A and B are shown apart, each in its own frame.
Chain A
Amino acid sequence: MGTHWVRTIKPVSRYALGGGYHTYYPGDWFQCKNMEMRELVESGMVETTPQVLSAEYKAGDAGVLLRDGAIKPRDVKTYGLKCKEDGRLALPWKRTVILGPGASISTTSIVIGLSRIEVGHGVGWEMAVMLKDMRKLARDVGTEEEKAKTLDAVGDLRLPVYDTSMLWVRRTKATKDWLAAFRDELEAGADEMHAFLRILYMRRLMLCTLPAGWIGRWHGA
C-alpha cells in the first residue's frame, strides 16, 4: 500500500501520530510512505531492501554496461537492472549506466544516479556525470596535443574535468550523437577526459553535473 520498512542509518526525527516528535537511531526500523522513503534514502538517512528500492525507483528498461576492465557491481539483477559486459560504448537501454575501467560503485548509487536522468515534466537531464576533482582543470590533464585540440574546440582549458568512468545516460537523439562522437574519439586513441569535454561543449547536452565525491557519500550505502 505504498508503505515500506526502512532501517535508520543516521538519527531521524519524525512527527508521531500521537503528537510530538520521535527520534529513530541507527539500527532502528520504522515504516514510512513512498515519498518520505525516497527522500530519506536519497539523503543517506535510511536504507531499505533491494526489492523495495527496485520497485520504488522503477528501473524499467535500464541496465549497466561494463566496459573492459570495469568491476561488475553486486546485486544488479536484484534491483531489476540488466547487465551487459561489452567493451564497446553503446546505449542498449532507455537508461544506461556505463562503467569504465576501475569504476567501483554500489548498486544503490547506480540506482540513485538513474533517478537523476528520469524525465520529469517533459524536460529532464539526459546524462549525469561526476566531476573528477573540483580543483582539476583541463589544462592539468592529458598531453600537450590533447590540450591543444580541446583549446581549439572549446576556446579555454580552464574547464573542470569529468569522471568518465561512470556515466548515467538516457537514450535521446542528443546522447546518441554524443555517444557516436565519443566512441570515434576514443577509438582514435584520444584522452578520455579531453574527448568528453570537446564533445560536450561543441553541442548542447542536458547534463546533470554531480559534484566530485558524490559517489563517496553513497558508496556502500
Chain B
Amino acid sequence: MSQPNAHELLEIARQTLLEQLLPALPGELRYPARMIANAMAIAARENCLQTHARRQELALLSSLTGDTEAPLHEARRQLARDIRQGRHDSAQSQHSLTRALRQIALARLAVSNPKAVP
C-alpha cells in the first residue's frame, strides 16, 4: 500500500493534535482537545477491529438464539426478546448467556477503552 488508510490517517492526525496543538492551547481548550484525541483513537480502533468483532458477535448470538440466518441487528433483537421472556433464566442457560455476552462486551471495550480491559 502506498497510501495511508483510514486508521493511519486518524493516528497521525491524533499524534499531531496531541504533540503540536495541545501544548499551545489555552487551559480551557485542553479538555475539548483531549476529547477530540479520544474520539479519534476510538474511531481508529473501530476501523481496525469492527469487522472481526461483528463476525464474532454474530456467531456467539446465533449459538444462543439457535437462528443462524438472522443478520446481526436481528440476532440482538431476538436474544433481547428471549431474555425478557425468561428463556435464559435457568442456571445453566444464565451461565452460557453471561459468558457469551461478556466476550462480546470485551471486544467492544477493546474499541472504546482498551485500558479498561481486565
A binds B: no
Chain B contact residues, CB within 8 Å of chain A: none
